[in-house]
Chain A
Amino acid sequence: MKPSPLQLERPRSLDEALALLAEHGDDAKLIAGGQSLVPLLNFRLAAPAVLVDLGAVPALAGIEVAGGAVRVGAMCSQRDLERHAAALSACPLLALALPYVGHVATRNRGTVGGSIAHADAAAELPLLLQTLAGEVEVTGAAGARLVTSEAFFVSHLTSCLEADEIVTEVRFPSGGAGWGAGFAEVAPRHGDYAVCAVACALRVEDGVVAEARLGAGAVSDRPLSLTAAAEVLVGSRCEPGALEAATEAARSAIDPSDGMHASAEYRRHLTGVLVGRAAARAYATAGT
């Protein structure tokens, strides 16, 4: 498969990129790492007349830990984030989840911003952002604004981005002392899109869960916060009874669909199993 004819633009600045989007509107598409978009172009499932390559925009690079978050420039590769010691230390869920994002080769090219913008419900980075209640900095002609993860992920492969907007930064909240992380995923093969994935972050004080974040991927049209299940864990010591109750709450809260590799019922079952595993690990690593 070869793509339809297109014009490739490579702006040198964010303003230039925004100007191109304003000029071409729906005829233009942004390309970051291309790991999701290029196959769509080759299958002619997407046929933009203009491709705006963000690879030369310096403002979109850089990772820093500041203000209680790991702030990742949208064009940072997933591999760069995976190897950023300070980021991983501040947000241990990143260290657990990034090895599941495709393969090393795709992570060398795939970007953090691109993964978030693509908004795949089975992808790990959107799941982490939603679980941790992170934020996305979106920049348009009128300037930059912060969008909550909850507002950003609208539906299947659909974000709230307008045609003239660019994801410029992704912010993963960093926990600090007392937080532990757990991540569990089932996929047909290592590196494949998840059939079910669960992320968990717990803050534990004197052995008791003080705060809980829980999220599931691939069980809805967007990454889901499992707030009810998380609430069950607060005040517990993640003892078997609490984990069982959280598992039940998670299973009741979701409405998964049948898919090629897994039925809705199997996904519902897995969600429960993985909630138990992710929460247990988060509890065990809290305070370490």
Chain B
Amino acid sequence: MATRTRPREQAPGHVGRSALRVEDDALLRGQGWFIDDLDPLPNIGCAAVVRSPYAHARIGAIDASAALALPGVIGVVTGADVAEHSRPFGSALGPGIVHHAAAVDIARYVGEPVCVVVARDRYLAEDAAERVLVEYEPLKVAASVETALAEDAPLLHPALGSNVVSDRSFSYGDPEAAFASAAHVVRERFRHPRSSATPVECYGVIAQWQAGGVTAWANFQGPFTLHGVAAAALGIPAAKLRLLTPSESGGSFGTKAAVLHAVVLMAIASRCLGVPVRWTEDRNEHLLAASMATERTSEVEAAFAADGRLLGLRLDLLDDVGAYVRAPEPATLYRMHGCLTGAYDVQDLAVRSRVVVSNRSPSGLNRGFGGPQLYSALERTMHIAARRLGIDPAELARRNLVRARQMPYRAAAGAVYDSGDYEACLDRALELAGYAELRAEQAEARASGRLLGIGLACVVEPSVSNMGYITLVESAEERAAGLPKSGNAEGATITMGAQGGVTLRITTTPQGQGHRTVAAQVAADVLGLDPEQIDVRTDADTAANPWTVSSGNYSSRFAAMGASAVHLAATRLAGRLRALAAPLLGCEPDDVELTGGQARVRGDEERSVSVRRLAGGAHWHPSDLTGEAAAGLALTVTYTLPISPPDDDDRVNSSACYGFVADVCVVEIDPDTAEVAVRSYVTVHDAGRLLNPLLADGQVRGGLAHGLGAALLEEHRYDEDGNLMTATFLDYLPPTATELPRVVSAHLESPSPLTPLGAKGLGEGTTMSAPAAIANAVADALGVDRVDLPATPQRIWELL
């Protein structure tokens, strides 16, 4: 489908307009309902968690007597209680990795829960927690990738015989031939450090055990696959774990997938103590133990022809997932699998994907989820190759980009890029950046000793993960022996009341992205109403919502799946309205159009009836209705994009939709202080049709903030004993407003042929591209190949 350039501010309907967010009024007035505002039950106890101060230790006796003696303390729950009342969490890598909601017998990372103290309030609970005496027998620690891989490394999970808990190799096409015929081979190692996405609000849980089941409130973001994991751990049927989410969340960026482990822990505490238990995580706990992005070690070998054509790639990827392999890990390693070749047309690919455990905080979803790790290696390789081949990086990219005429394009490892014109995006980015003028300025700057650098990144941004991709950890034979996994479904319930007001219920569990606003825009267009007449409920309740295991807010799936489910539900409702209107208007349902709150005959505006009247009639006088008109004004749909599990050749379309991002970044480095200033940042996106350009722009800028943090500021560091050195914001440094550069953002639209609105996800692109673009710019400024992330002034000074 054709590519259009933005802007499209004069869209005919509500979709495509920069509608202001309906969420904002309440938020700005302090009237949002967050997890900590909820008080749904009487007699809720407050929990404080006693955490292991050792990275690896055997847990001995636990003496809680002094804690229990304090007034206001309700009880203390230990690992023994957790072992008695739960099963280990299921993991994609099998039962050899025993992971409970609290440490049982052995603690494997600093911060791992050891006990839960419940008291009348959090202050008392912390007073009591200080008085719990735990005996620890420290064990040898492996707190880095190097020590975890060493010959004499302590084994975290002895049943697996190695800290490398997964080792899979893949080959597509003929990489050996490609490398044999190469004129140049570029081979480099890269390290993408640990980070975490730092939402303003941390985890919050209220859990109650009652009558063999659990009711829990949590600021959970999905994927709802984890609901089943939590229920299984609790030893109850999934239908007996009722999970509710508040209407507001203070951000997540992936981290609030893992809150379900805390739900399990607090549910066990509730079971043992007979009260509902509330746990509100603080920042120190969140940085220490919530959900970090994996540390990725990559070795990239790229085979080039003399003219710069990329002939083949070998990738050796190693993810450190921390002390346990918490579901959905090792998804960070496999999320990008189908599109490991990125934006380039190269069909010969060899991959080795390994997962290592270490005595560090367990990893999980974080914005970008595998994308930043991949592209900080792949796009850096392209930049290094450009230098070595003597080709301008933009030209090298251009020679290798997948072409628009190749869409839909089947990538080597199985991704099917649905649409896109990558060259047009790159051209636009270069044009907006003034690339030719920049190179001229750079030449002059170099002559006068200034360190000016230009960095590019071309990134394919997948959205709507295919649940099946994780089964690549198994061989084709192993997969054949089990049940296949695939899919991406999302649900929506729509109802129209007797006065014509519409309520939508979706399980997209937004974390601040503005789903209510966009869902109302989508439904309003279909139904011919104003968005104000559409009430969108995004607080979720597994007992009442339309949901499936793939529901949730992850892998940027709302624009393609949530919005499409809304579109489908509204379309079906519109069909009911047409069926109600047709006999009243004396026409066929297909001749009825819905616009301006009216149902009218197409081409004859005089013949119309208000939607409000139709709704009133359907509710108050349904007895004469027949056919579709009698079906009522409430319905639930499930929307799904057809997608397959991995095939026997280990190819998988790991996501449903693929966008593209082309970035041009300019940095100047102070040659005396080594400080880096990002002078400008141009980013051009193609995420298909934009449903709301204002919100899309917010995602681009927010994604850039995360990406810039990873490039220049953020790194979680551990000492050799496994202590986290960055457990507060004194030492872990997300960017503030003053660190963000002027951003020039533009959009092209290559609508997805797959979704009814043509939209694709757009939430992680600049998080994936910016670390590479900025690192490339730094490398360009300094004329070096190796730039370690984050490129802090200390690191840059060492390169000068």
Contacts and interface: CB of A to CB of B under 8 A. Distances in A.
Contacts of A148: none
A273 B674 CA distance: 11
B73 to A, nearest CB: 14
A263 B793 CA distance: 11
A200 to B, nearest CB: 16
A254 interface: no
Interface string B757-795: 000000000000000000000000000000000001110
Contact of A189 (B282, B725, B726, B739): B739
A191 B738 contact: yes
Nearest to B800: A269
Chain B binding surface SS class: loop
B713 interface: yes
A260 B725 contact: yes
B126 A2 contact: yes
B58 interface: no
Contacts of A2: 122-123, 126
A44 interface: yes
Contacts of A4: 127
State the 6 A-B residue pairs at the shortest beta-carbon distance, nearest first: A190-B738, A273-B672, A2-B123, A2-B126, A266-B797, A188-B733
B731 interface: yes
A260 B731 contact: yes
A1 B673 contact: no
Interface in A188-226: 188-193, 195
A273 B736 contact: no
B796 to A, nearest CB: 10
Contacts of A262: 793-794
B468 to A, nearest CB: 42
Contacts of A3: 123
Contacts of B725: 260
Which of the listed residues B717, B730, B794 has the most CB atoms from chain A within 10 Å of its own CB? Answer: B794
16 contacts: A1-B126, A1-B282, A1-B284, A2-B122, A3-B123, A5-B127, A43-B284, A44-B130, A189-B735, A191-B736, A193-B730, A266-B674, A266-B793, A269-B797, A270-B673, A274-B673
Nearest to A270: B673
A79 B282 CA distance: 29
Given A189-B735, A263-B794, A5 B123 contact: yes
Given A188-B713, A190-B736, 8 more contacts: A2-B122, A190-B738, A195-B793, A260-B726, A261-B731, A261-B792, A262-B794, A273-B673
Contacts of B316: none
Interface string A1-16: 1111100000000000
A40 to B, nearest CB: 11
B713 A189 contact: yes
A190 B675 contact: no
B127 A189 contact: no
Interface in A224-278: 260-263, 266, 269-270, 273-274
Contact of A188 (B672, B673, B792): B792
Contacts of B738: 189-191
Contacts of B284: 1, 43
Which of the listed residues B282, B672, B726, B731 has the most CB atoms from chain A within 10 Å of its own CB? Answer: B672
A98 to B, nearest CB: 16
Interface string B279-293: 000101000000000
Which of the listed residues A4, A188, A190, A261 has the most CB atoms from chain B within 10 Å of its own CB? Answer: A188
Contacts of B797: 266, 269
A44 B797 CA distance: 37
Contacts of A193: 730
B122 to A, nearest CB: 5
B302 to A, nearest CB: 34
Interface in B103-129: 122-123, 126-127
A65 interface: no
Contacts of A1: 126, 282, 284
Contacts of B739: 189-190
Contacts of B717: 260
A186 interface: yes
Which of the listed residues A189, A191, A263 has the most CB atoms from chain B within 10 Å of its own CB? Answer: A189
A5 B72 CA distance: 13
Interface in A165-187: 186
A155 to B, nearest CB: 20
B746 to A, nearest CB: 28
Contacts of B735: 189
Contacts of A263: 794
Nearest to A184: B673
A189 B678 CA distance: 13
A241 B731 CA distance: 38
A266 B794 contact: yes
